[in-house]
Structure 1
Amino acid sequence: MERKLAAVMMADVSGYGLLSQADEEGARVRFRADLSDIFEQRIAEHCGRLIKTMGDGLLVEFPSVVEAVRCAVEVQRAKSKNRDRDKHQLEFRIGINLGDVIVEGDDIHGDGVIIAERLQSLAEPGGIVISGTAYDHVEKHLDVAFISLGEKRLKHVYKPIRTYRIVLDGVGSRRKVKKSRGRRLFAIAGCLLLLAAASIGMWWWRPWDRPVETLLTPQQDLPLPDKPSIAVLPFANVSDDPKQEYFADGMTDGLVTELAQISELFVIARNSTFSYKGKAVSPRQVSKDLGVRYILEGSVQRAGDQLRINAKLIDSLNGGHVWAGKFDGTLSDVFALQDKVTSGIADALAVRLTSASETRKLGYQTPVSAAFDAFLRGWEHHRRSTPEDLVKAIPFFERAIELDPGYGRAYAAAAMVYARIYLWHWNSQLPISRSEAKAKAVEYLESARKSKTALGHQAASLLSEADWQHPAAVAELKEAIALEPGDSWSYALMAFVLTSSGRPEEAIPHIRTAMRLDPKPPSFFMYVLGLTEFSMENFQAAATAARTSTELNPEDDSSLLLLAAAYGHLGLKRDAAAAIARFNKLSVEHGGIAATISTCPSLDFALPDDRERLHRGLRFAGVPENPTGIDSGKELEPAEIRSLLFGQRLRGRVLGSGEAHEMIISPGGRATLSGGWTSLGIGNPSDVEVRIDGNEVCFSQKETALCGVVLRNPGGLAASENEFVWYYGDRALTFSPLDFP
C-alpha cells in the first residue's frame, strides 16, 4: 500500500439531481462540455491529474496545493463569466484539501479525499472551500480573500477541520478581510457565550439521538448513476392462495439477482425495495428515495404448476411505461419466464446480455421445479438473517439438494448458513459443535464451487475470515463482485474483512458502495460501518452507526458492545452504561455472562491495536476487568479442582439459558459430555481430554479446546454453595459433584 501527501480537489454539480430529472440528456451534455472545455484544460495547465468522474462530480490530484487552488479559482471565474451568457449552465461546488492519501493503481482514496469531498459539500454553488492545511500553504501566494468558517465537524472525520471560503470578487480583498478580523473578536466572544448556552440546550435536546428513519434517510436527493438504474419492487401475489407469498417474493429475488449480474445496470438491493412491500407508493417517490430512474413492478399468479407473470418497467421521470410483458407457463418454465423479463428489460434499456451472464445462470437455476420451490422456502428464512431463521432454512436447502444434486445455489446457500454459524458462534441454536458447523460448511462449499455463484464465494470468504485468513477472504469477495457487480452484500463483506484486518481506509469505499446499492441498509451494514469508523477513531460516527444498527436489530449484542466502547471514548458514561446494561441482559438471555474486559468478545477485530482500542473504550464505559470473584481470592487450587472433577459424575446448567449438562470424568482425565455443551461450542463426544493448567480447566476435542477459569460460587451466580462456576470466554456454566434433585 502506497501513501503520500497530495493536494486533492473535489468538484460537484449543485442540484444535479433536479436538473437531470428535468432534462437528463441536456444535463449530461452540459457536464461533459464543462469537463472538456473548462476543467480539463485548466487541470493540465496546473499539472493536475484527473483521477475520475463520478456521475456529476470529479476527483483531481495536484502536486502542489497552490496550483490546485489556482485551478479552482480559474474554473469558477470562467464559469462566472459564462453565467451572463447562459442562464441554464451548471454551477459547481469545489472543495480542496492537502492531506494523506492511499494510492491504489490509478485511483486515490483515504482521509485526504474524504475531507475534500466533505469540504465540497460546504461550498456554495460557484464557490470554493478549502481546509486549514491548504490555507496555511496558499494564503500568501494568491490574489483572493479568505473568510474563516471556523472549525467544522465533518461526517466520517473524527477531528474538527479548519475551513476557509475563498472570496472571488476582486483582487486585494484579502487585506480587507484581515483588517476586519480584529473587529470580529468581540463578536466571536459573544458568539462563544451563546454557543455555551446553546450546548447546554443541545445536551438536553440531544439531536444526535434522532430516530433511525432520519439517520438512514438521505439529506438530499441521491444523484442518478451514470448507467441505467433500476429498482425491482416486490411482485404482488395475486394467487388465490395467500401462502404463495414466499413464491412471489422469491421471483422478485430471482429478478434482482439476474439483473445484478449485468455490469451495465445499477440495481438496488432487495433489502431496500422490500421496505415498500404492501405499501402504496408512486414510482417517483421510489426514485427519489433510492436514487434510480426506472422502477420494475409486477405480479405473480400461481395455480398448482401454472404460472403467470405480469411485469412493467416505468420511467420515474415522466411516469411512462418503457416496457411491459405478460408471460404464461408452468413451474418447470420458471427460469425461462424470468429470463424473458430480464431480456425485455435489457432490450428496453439498450444494455447487453453477455455470454458470460448466460453461463452464470447454470449455477443459479435448476431443472427440478420442486427443488426450486424448496429453495425459495429456505431463502424466505435465510434473508431474515437471524440465528433462529438460519436454522429453519437448513432443512429446505438440504431438501433442494436432495431433489437436485446439481443445484449450485442450494449448496451455496447451505454453505453460507453454516459459515455464518461458524463465524459468529451461533452453533448453540443447533445440536452440533462449532467445528461440526465448519465441517458442514466446507462440505457444501465443495459442491457449490462446481457452479460459480456470488453466494458461494461469499460463504467461502466467511470461512476464511473466521480463521483470520484475510487475503483468502478478500480474494473470494473479489470473485463475488466480478460475478454479481450489483450484490450489495459482497461490498459490505469486503468492508468487513478489510476492517477486521486493519485496513479501514480501504473499507470505506466498499461500505459506501454497499449502502448506495442498498440505501435502506440492513443492520449488518451499519455494524460494519461502525466497526470501520471505530477503527479509524471516528468515535462519533461509530456511535451513530452502531446505535442505528441496534435500532434496526435490537438483538444485535455486538453492536451494543461497539456502541458502549464508542460512547466510552466520547466520555458519554451514562449512555455507555445504558448500552452495557442492554448488552448484559441479552448476553445472559443467550446463555452468556455480563461483560468484562477479560471475557468480552473482540467483536471482529483481528489486530491487537484494534482490540486494545475496544477494551480502552469499554474501560472508559466502566466495564470491569474480570467477572465478579476472580479478583477476590475465590480461585481454586489445581489440587482442589482435580478432586472436584476427576473420577466424578457432575451435573449443572449453562448460566442464562438454563440448559442442563452432564459430564463423567475418569480419574485419568477422559470425559464423556452430554446436554448443554453444544451452546459452548463443543458437541457431545464420548471421548474428551480434560486437563488442568493452574486454575484453568481445558476440555479438548479434536481441534477444539475450551479453556476457562474455575471459581467458587462467585457473586452468588451459583444456585448453592455446592456449585462452582467455570468461565469460558463470555460464557459460563455451573457444576457440582452432587446430583441435583
Structure 2
Amino acid sequence: MAADVVGYSRLMAADEAGTARALRGHREAISPIITKQGGRIVKTIGDGVLLEFPSVVAAVACGAAIQRLMSERNAAAPADQRMLFRIGINLGDVLIEGDDILGDGVNVAARLEEISEAGGICISEDVYRQIDGKVDVNFADMGMHHLKNIARPLRTYRAHLEQIMPLRAPRPALPDRPSIAVLPFGNMSDAAEDYFGDGIVEEITIGLSRIRWLFVIARNSSFTYKGRPVDVKQVGRELGVRYVLEGSVRRAANRVRISAELVEAATGVHIWADRFEGGLEDIFELQDQITANVVGAIGSKLEQAEIERAKRKPTENLDAYDYFLRGSAALHRWNREANNEALRLFYRAIELDPEYAAAYGMAARCYSQRKASGWMVDRVEETAETERLARHAAALGKDDAVALCTAGIAFTYVLGAHDYGVDLLERALVLNPNWASAWLFSGWARIWLGEPEVAMDHLARAMRLNPQDPQMSNAHAAMAAAYFFAGRYEDASSWAHAAIREQPVHFIATCVAAASHGLAGQAPEATEAMARLRQLYPDLRLSGLNDCFPIRRPEDAARWASGLEKAGLPQ
C-alpha cells in the first residue's frame, strides 16, 4: 500500500509547522488501524508512506478504515488542519533489501496512489480478484490505464467514496416523483452470454426512461452493483431511489426466460414479481411487458399513452440486434481495442439491417469517443465517416432517442455543426428525459456553443441520474470546461483536478486545468498541468486547437488559447 497527502506542498507553503504537526497527529491516529490489520510501515518519505501486509484483504480493509477515520477527523478539525489521503494498493512480488522492499509490485502501488481520488482508494486488477465479495466496499472499474514507467497497461478499480467517506459524500435525496434503479440481472446461462443479459437490462432501463413521470437511474450507476450480493435498502440509499428492479435472464438456443421483481427500497417489500418466457423473436415484446408491469405497479394512475410511448422495436433482424448488444457492451469498456471491436460490431448490425438507426448512431459515437481519446488515425477520413453515420442515424431515427443523441454529439463535437447537433440532442431529451448520456452530451454541446450556464444545469442533471458512473470523469471534465468558459477559473480547476484524479489521461480535463491555472495567474500549477498535457499529447500546439475543440464563439476560442499559452503551450 502506498499513500500520501493531497496538496501537501501547498499546505506546507501556507503553514509549515502547523501542517507537520497535523500530519503527525493523523499518523498517530491511524497507526492502531495498521497494527490491527497486520501491516508494517516499510518507510515514510515526507508526506508519503509505504506499507506491506500479509493479506490483500487486510490491506484493503485497512485502507478503507483509514479513509473512514480521516473523514471523521476532517469533519471535526479546523479547515487548516484537514488533510486528504490518496491510497494505492497492489498485489505482487517484491525484492527485500534489509527492511526495505523494491520492485514492480511496489512501483505499481505508487502509481495507483497517484491516480487515486482525494480521500479514495485505487487498486489493481490482481487485488480486485482477490477481494471481490470479501470486503464491505464496492469498487468501480476504471478501465485500462497506462501508468507512468510501467511497461504494460493495467486495469484499475476505484472505491466508491460514499461508502468509505460518508461525511464527504451525502447520499442523494429522493426526487419529487417515483424513482427507480434497474440492477444488472443475473446471467443464468453461459458466461459468454453476459452481454445479452446486460443488453436486456439496458433496453428495459431505456424503456422505463421514456415514462416522463418516472426518475430512472442511468445504466452505468446501476451496473456498479454487478456481480455482488445486493442489499436493496442500501442501493436505494446510495442511488436515491424509491424502487429497485432486479431479476435474471436465461438464454438457451432460441428461447429466453426473464424473471423480474420490483422491490420498495426503503422497506424491502416486494411489490410485484413475474416470469416472462418466449422465443428469441419475442424478445422486444417481453421487454415491453416488463416495462408495462413495472409502470403499472408504481403508478396509481397510468395513461396508456405513456406505455405506448415507451415501446419501440428497433429492428426486425434479431441477429442485428445481437450484434448491437455486443457492440454496446464493448463501447462501455472505453479503451482503444474495445472501441475498434464495438465499431466492427455496429457495422455488422448495419450490414444485417441497413435501416437500424441506433446502430448508425452508436457507430458514430465510436468516432466521437476516438476523437475525445486521441485515437483517430486519419482525421479527414474518419470525420467524413462520422458525418455519414450521423446523418443516417438522424434520418432513420426521428423517434429514437439513442439515434438522435449519438448523432447530435457527433455533429457537435466531431463535425462542429453546433445548431443542428443541439437540435438533435434536444429532440432526444424530449423523447427520453431520463437519459443521463443525453444530458451529458447536451452539456458538452452547450459548452462548445457558448452557453456555459445552461451546460452546468444539464451536467448537474446528468450526474444526478448517474451518481455512481465509473466514467464520472467525463461529467467532471465537462463541468470544468463550463466553469472555465464562464470565467470562474478556481471552480474550473477544481472540477478539472477531480476529473484527472479519476482519469489521469483525460485530455480535456488536463487542458482545462492548465488553462484555468494560466488565466488565474497560478504559474507553478499551470506549468505542472502543462507538463502533464505535453506528456499525454506531445504534438498539441496552439495552431491546432481549432481541430481539437469545436468552440463556436471567437471570444471563447481566444480565452481558451490565451489560457493554454500562459500555461506554456507552444505555437
With structure 1 as the length reference, what TM-score do the two structures score? Answer: 0.52
Shift of 1:478: 1.4
Letter in 1 for 2:188: V
1:299 to 248, 251, 255: 248
Shift of 1:297: 0.9
- Work out whether residues 85 and 119 of structure 2, in 8 Å CA contact, stay in contact via their aligned partners in 1: no
Shift of 1:291: 0.7
- Work out whether residues 411 and 448 of structure 1, in 8 Å CA contact, stay in contact via their aligned partners in 2: no
Letter in 2 for 1:299: S
Aligned: 1:340 with 2:289? yes
Distance 1:546 1:283, change over 3 A: same
Distance 1:288 1:200, change over 3 A: closer
Distance 1:269 1:575, change over 3 A: same
- Work out whether residues 439 and 458 of structure 2, in 8 Å CA contact, stay in contact via their aligned partners in 1: yes
1:608 to 549, 554, 558: 554
After TM superposition, list the pairs within 5 Å mapping 1:239-278 onto structure 2: 239=189, 241-278=190-227
Letter in 2 for 1:372: Y
- Work out whether residues 418 and 441 of structure 1, in 8 Å CA contact, stay in contact via their aligned partners in 2: no
Letter in 1 for 2:333: R
Percent sequence identity is 32
- Work out whether residues 323 and 346 of structure 2, in 8 Å CA contact, stay in contact via their aligned partners in 1: yes
- Work out whether residues 347 and 359 of structure 2, in 8 Å CA contact, stay in contact via their aligned partners in 1: yes
Deviations along 1:500-543, one digit per CA (max 9) or x if unpaired, are 12211122221111111111243221111111111122223222
Distance 1:394 1:314, change over 3 A: same
Deviations along 1:561-598, one digit per CA (max 9) or x if unpaired, are 1122223344544443333222222214xxxx2x5444
Distance 1:531 1:624, change over 3 A: closer
Deviations along 1:629-675, one digit per CA (max 9) or x if unpaired, are xxxxxxxxxxxxxxxxxxxxxxxxxxxxxxxxxxxxxxxxxxxxxxx
Letter in 2 for 1:487: W
- Work out whether residues 419 and 437 of structure 1, in 8 Å CA contact, stay in contact via their aligned partners in 2: no
Shift of 1:357: 5.2
Q: Which has the higher contact order (CA 8 A, sep 6+)?
A: 2
After TM superposition, list the pairs within 5 Å mapping 1:13-412 onto structure 2: 209-211=118-120, 213-214=160-161, 219-239=169-189, 241-350=190-299, 352=302, 354-355=304-305, 358=308, 361-362=311-312, 364-412=313-361
Aligned: 1:453 with 2:400? yes
Letter in 1 for 2:234: Q
Structure whose residues are more often strand by fraction: 1
* Aligned match of 1:661: none
* Aligned match of 1:585: 535
- Work out whether residues 223 and 291 of structure 1, in 8 Å CA contact, stay in contact via their aligned partners in 2: yes
Distance 1:577 1:202, change over 3 A: farther
The whole-number CA distance in structure 2 between the counterparts of 1:345 and 1:324 is 9
Secondary structure in structure 1 of the residue aligned to 2:461: helix
* Aligned match of 1:494: 442
* Aligned match of 2:73: none
Secondary structure in structure 2 of the residue aligned to 1:227: coil
The whole-number CA distance in structure 2 between the counterparts of 1:204 and 1:397 is 44
Deviations along 1:380-422, one digit per CA (max 9) or x if unpaired, are 1122344543321122122222323343322332233345557
Letter in 1 for 2:437: W
Shift of 1:282: 1.0
Distance 1:546 1:495, change over 3 A: same
* Aligned match of 1:576: 526
- Work out whether residues 421 and 437 of structure 1, in 8 Å CA contact, stay in contact via their aligned partners in 2: no
Secondary structure in structure 1 of the residue aligned to 2:505: coil
Aligned: 1:517 with 2:465? yes
Deviations along 1:287-331, one digit per CA (max 9) or x if unpaired, are 111110101111111122221111111101111001111112221
Aligned: 1:477 with 2:477? no
The whole-number CA distance in structure 1 between the counterparts of 2:82 and 2:394 is 56
Distance 1:435 1:401, change over 3 A: closer
Letter in 2 for 1:462: I
Letter in 1 for 2:561: H
Shift of 1:443: 5.2
The whole-number CA distance in structure 2 between the counterparts of 1:477 and 1:611 is 23
* Aligned match of 1:506: 454
Aligned: 1:416 with 2:394? no
Aligned: 1:618 with 2:531? no
Structure whose residues are more often helix by fraction: 2
The whole-number CA distance in structure 2 between the counterparts of 1:204 and 1:418 is 38
The whole-number CA distance in structure 1 between the counterparts of 2:501 and 2:375 is 21
Distance 1:359 1:296, change over 3 A: closer
The whole-number CA distance in structure 1 between the counterparts of 2:345 and 2:426 is 29
The whole-number CA distance in structure 2 between the counterparts of 1:289 and 1:223 is 9
Letter in 2 for 1:272: S
Secondary structure in structure 2 of the residue aligned to 1:299: strand
Distance 1:375 1:438, change over 3 A: closer
Letter in 2 for 1:576: A
Secondary structure in structure 1 of the residue aligned to 2:438: helix
Shift of 1:253: 0.6
The whole-number CA distance in structure 2 between the counterparts of 1:420 and 1:404 is 24
Secondary structure in structure 1 of the residue aligned to 2:537: helix
The whole-number CA distance in structure 2 between the counterparts of 1:203 and 1:561 is 26
* Aligned match of 2:386: 438
The whole-number CA distance in structure 1 between the counterparts of 2:174 and 2:535 is 44
* Aligned match of 2:35: none
Distance 1:361 1:411, change over 3 A: farther
Letter in 1 for 2:511: L
The whole-number CA distance in structure 2 between the counterparts of 1:619 and 1:446 is 38
The whole-number CA distance in structure 2 between the counterparts of 1:395 and 1:208 is 34
Letter in 2 for 1:238: M
- Work out whether residues 416 and 455 of structure 1, in 8 Å CA contact, stay in contact via their aligned partners in 2: no
* Aligned match of 1:558: 508
Secondary structure in structure 2 of the residue aligned to 1:222: coil
2:499 to 546, 549, 552: 549
Distance 1:425 1:453, change over 3 A: farther
The whole-number CA distance in structure 1 between the counterparts of 2:352 and 2:320 is 5
- Work out whether residues 569 and 620 of structure 1, in 8 Å CA contact, stay in contact via their aligned partners in 2: yes
**Superposition RMSD in Å:** 3.1
With structure 2 as the length reference, what TM-score do the two structures score? Answer: 0.67
Deviations along 1:112-149, one digit per CA (max 9) or x if unpaired, are xxxxxxxxxxxxxxxxxxxxxxxxxxxxxxxxxxxxxx
Deviations along 1:251-277, one digit per CA (max 9) or x if unpaired, are 111111110011021100011111111
The whole-number CA distance in structure 2 between the counterparts of 1:345 and 1:402 is 35
The whole-number CA distance in structure 2 between the counterparts of 1:203 and 1:302 is 51
Shift of 1:482: 0.9
Distance 1:208 1:261, change over 3 A: closer
Secondary structure in structure 2 of the residue aligned to 1:410: helix
The whole-number CA distance in structure 2 between the counterparts of 1:311 and 1:549 is 36
Shift of 1:334: 1.2
Letter in 1 for 2:402: L
Secondary structure in structure 2 of the residue aligned to 1:226: coil
